[in-house]
Amino acid sequence: MKNTDYQSAASPRGAAVAIKVDIVVIGAGQAGLSSAYHLRRLGLEPDKNFVTFDRSPRPGGAWQFRWPSLTLAAANHIHDLPGLKLADVIDVDASGEVQASTVVPRYYETYEKTFGLRIHRPVEVRVVCDRGERLRVETDAGLFSARGIINATGTWETPHIPDYPGRERFKGRQIHTKDYRTPEEFAGKHVIIVGAGISAIQLLDEISRVARTTWVTRREPEFRQGPFTQEAGRAAVAIVEERVRQGLPPTSVVSVTGIPVTPRIEEMRKRGVLVRHPMFSEITETGVRWADGREIEADVILWCTGFRSSLDHLAPLQLRGDNGGIIMTGRLATQVAKDPRIHLVGYGPSASTIGANRAGGAAARELAAFLGLLE
């Protein structure tokens, strides 16, 4: 089916007719593709038993929108999708110095075609509502009635910028990681970079080569020496998983694992760039001010302050608790406890690429079993 096949029909009275399917998969990044792949492995057919929507114009998930200088070597490790290795599709040299925003979309596109996943794009899911035994899924390509949902919308569409005092009166430029393209646009300026994650450090490295930089974080960054073992990875994921099982808002897996000390970070230390300052207390018209009265002027504030889960379209289902979290259950904490017809993949412990692979398989099997679709 093409997207045009999904335009809602009209009854004699003019009412929209919803197309019935068993499962709707929302999103076709790593988590969505893994989920669709495992649904096929279970014997379910795309466009018959399940349909997958993606709002992006082409394959690649959020990777297609990343800044041009981000390479596979610099990116937080990209894990192979189930059933097809990246190296089997694209010849990646040992250094990994290839553009992530080009290579990963090519890989995802080949993956979709290889397994016949039939992703429909660009299709925006506007809202999901409870209709008793079924769920009403409203999209810009028509109406759908589903028995279950695998939501894999990730976080890219929901950048987070904390509401610091004075933010609205700053006369310089404020941007988020999502808006960053190249360091050259900051040449000769003073840029305050806020954040302690891997992206913040990558952008600090690039921008500091052409501009004056000040690095600010809320907490002291934790750097990790030595290799990251599987045991350490499982322990980190377990911490995040326990949070969502309790209904607490998820933290990122990276915030638990720490930042690996790479040759690039060592080089930044030698250049005197990796000097962390505590978080400022307010933003002024020309810069920032700390609680002790110290001020600095700046041209740009770059907020590398992360993202939040893109779940606004699920708001009518009232899945969140008063603290903003969602109580999760299931083998890998993908199932919403309040409504077991809903699985969130790429949320909490499955936000990493390897976590998304495993969670996609777990969500597909558990939801298909819950709906009685397995023989």
Predicted pLDDT of residue 354: 67
Q: What angle do CA 255, 259, 261 make, to 5 degrees?
A: 170
Q: What CATH number is given for 167-222+258-303 in this structure? A: 3.50.50.60
Tens of pLDDT, residues 160-188 = 999 999 999 999 999 999 999 999 999 99
Which residue from 61, 58, 51, 1 is spatially nearest to 22, judged by alpha carbons? 51
CA–CA distance, 255 with 373 (Å, rounded to integer): 38
Domain ranges of the chain: 3-157+308-370, 167-222+258-303
Phi, psi of 195 (to 5 degrees): 140, 150
Predicted pLDDT of residue 7: 44
CA–CA distance, 340 with 4 (Å, rounded to integer): 31
CA–CA distance, 148 with 259 (Å, rounded to integer): 37
Tens of pLDDT, residues 65-112 = 998 888 776 665 678 899 999 888 887 665 457 888 989 999 999 999
**How far, CA to CA in Å, does 194 sit from each of 219, 253, 300, 351?**
11, 19, 11, 22
Q: What CATH number is given for 3-157+308-370 in this structure? A: 3.50.50.60
| Strands of the sheet with 295-297, listed across from one edge | 282-283, 287-289, 295-297
What is the bridge-based pairing of β-strands 50-53 and 19-26?
parallel
Contacts of 368 (CB under 8 A, 6+ apart): 23, 39, 42, 44, 374
- Same fold flag, 3-157+308-370 and 167-222+258-303: yes
Tens of pLDDT, residues 264-291 = 899 999 999 999 999 999 999 999 999 9
Q: Indicate the length of the chain as a whole number.
A: 375
Q: Read off the pTM.
A: 0.89
Predicted pLDDT of residue 256: 65
Predicted pLDDT of residue 75: 65
Is residue 327 within 8 A of residue 336, CB to CB? The reply is yes
Predicted pLDDT of residue 96: 57
Which residues in the chain come in under a pLDDT of 70? Answer: 1-16, 73-77, 92-96, 226-230, 232-233, 252-257, 353-354
